[in-house]
């Protein structure tokens, strides 16, 4: 009996050890170089879904899995992570992702955790955390980037030729900058000074509402509608947004539009006050988002 018990105990220890090693192996590397037009540490543009899973493992805890993207924690799980990376996929023919192993990587979204920060570096050794501490460094690394600043709290840096977009948000409550990186294939359809030959998509509406559930919690909803240039619903567009709760705390969220072109975001909270939903990015293959004609933010007062 003792021998069998020892064997079982040893086997259990081995299984736990294997599971621990597998979990650690499945996470993206904590260090490495971000190379625009190529990829991020461990994964490159054009890699298949099978190659991504071989390098990063199964999706971790930072978001609901969708056909068009997979989310991974970096450097730890959940609240212990230094950030998140969303790997975006498309089909082998450039169309919508199918969820199969031969889908290919079309882009990345990298979210840095304030205070902790990632150690993924750009040319010159700069990190996203460096950009948050000194936003002017973004122009040092990407001198060709176009700058858009619709308000005092938000700045967008875009370099289509490099396939790079960075958004910098200033949090007036926490008094820090929050920088998000978007990487995609360099834009070969647009020459400097020319116009894109691709069609456009736009966010036609963000409909917000709320109701109280049985546990006295607010269920806040934001229904994002995405249409094309003919105002037809766009299926399988990836919508990346951020909730801002009363008090200033933010919660990132990503969903894919359904057959009606809608992504239905939901948030549970007990706090009364102003809830804001802001769209960071909408990805649909290589079709650009017409931001000037899009509704990118909506506010709802919840009492």
pLDDT band of residue 117 (cuts 50, 70, 90) is low
Give residue limits of the domains in the chain. 31-184, 201-302
76 — alpha (psi -120 to 50), left (phi > 0) or beta? Answer: left
Kindly state the percentage of the chain with pLDDT values over 70: 80
228-242 residue pLDDT tens: 888 888 999 999 999
Residue 208 has pLDDT above 50, yes or no: yes
* 166 sits in which H/E element: strand 164-171
Per the CB < 8 A criterion, the answer to whether 180 and 112 are in contact is yes
Q: What is the pLDDT of residue 34?
A: 93
For the residues 212-239, what does the mean pLDDT come to? Answer: 85
- Three-state DSSP at 13 gives helix
Q: What is the pLDDT of residue 198?
A: 56
For the residues 260-285, what does the mean pLDDT come to? Answer: 91
Q: What is the pLDDT of residue 116?
A: 57
Q: Pick 195 or 80 by higher pLDDT.
A: 80
Q: What is the pLDDT of residue 29?
A: 84
CATH of span 201-302: 2.60.40.10
For the residues 103-120, what does the mean pLDDT come to? Answer: 78
pLDDT band of residue 197 (cuts 50, 70, 90) is very low
Give 23's contacts (C-beta < 8 A, 6+ positions apart). Answer: 57, 77
pLDDT band of residue 282 (cuts 50, 70, 90) is very high
pLDDT band of residue 80 (cuts 50, 70, 90) is low
Q: Pick 74 or 241 by higher pLDDT.
A: 241
Q: What is the pLDDT of residue 214?
A: 61
17-32 residue pLDDT tens: 434 443 344 578 888 9
Report the predicted TM-score, pTM, of the whole model to 2 decimal places. 0.57
Of the candidates 278, 277, 273, the one whose C-alpha atom is nearest the C-alpha of residue 302 is 273
Q: What is the pLDDT of residue 297?
A: 93
Q: What is the pLDDT of residue 201?
A: 93
Q: What is the dihedral of CA 248, 62, 134, 107, to 10 degrees?
A: -130
């Amino acid at each position: 009996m003792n021998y069998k018990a020892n064997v079982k105990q040893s086997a259990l220890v081995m299984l736990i050890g294997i599971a621990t090693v597998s979990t650690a192996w499945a996470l993206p590397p904590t260090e490495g170089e971000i190379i625009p037009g190529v990829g991020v540490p461990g994964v490159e543009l054009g890699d298949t879904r099978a190659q991504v899973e071989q390098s990063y493992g199964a999706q971790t805890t930072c978001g609901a899995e969708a056909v068009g993207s997979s989310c991974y924690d970096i450097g730890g799980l959940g609240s212990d992570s230094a950030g998140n990376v969303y790997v975006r996929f498309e089909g082998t023919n450039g169309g919508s992702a199918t969820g199969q192993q031969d889908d290919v990587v079309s882009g990345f979204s990298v979210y840095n955790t304030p205070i902790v920060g990632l150690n993924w570096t750009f040319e010159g050794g700069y990190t996203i955390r460096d950009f948050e501490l000194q936003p002017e460094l973004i122009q040092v690394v990407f001198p060709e980037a176009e700058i858009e600043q619709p308000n005092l709290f938000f700045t967008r840096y875009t370099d289509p030729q490099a396939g790079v977009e960075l958004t910098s948000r200033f949090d007036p409550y926490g008094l820090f900058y929050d920088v998000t990186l978007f990487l995609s294939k360099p834009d070969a359809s647009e020459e400097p000074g020319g116009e894109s030959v691709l069609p456009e998509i736009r966010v036609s509406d963000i409909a917000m509402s709320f109701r109280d559930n049985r546990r006295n919690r607010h269920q806040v909803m934001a229904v994002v509608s995405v249409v094309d240039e003919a105002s037809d619903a766009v299926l399988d567009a990836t919508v990346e947004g951020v909730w801002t709760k009363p008090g200033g705390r933010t919660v990132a969220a990503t969903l894919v539009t359904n057959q009606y072109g809608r992504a239905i975001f939901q948030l549970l909270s007990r706090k009364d006050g102003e809830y804001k939903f802001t769209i960071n990015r909408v990805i649909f293959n290589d079709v650009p988002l017409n931001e000037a004609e899009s509704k990118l933010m909506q506010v709802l007062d919840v009492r």
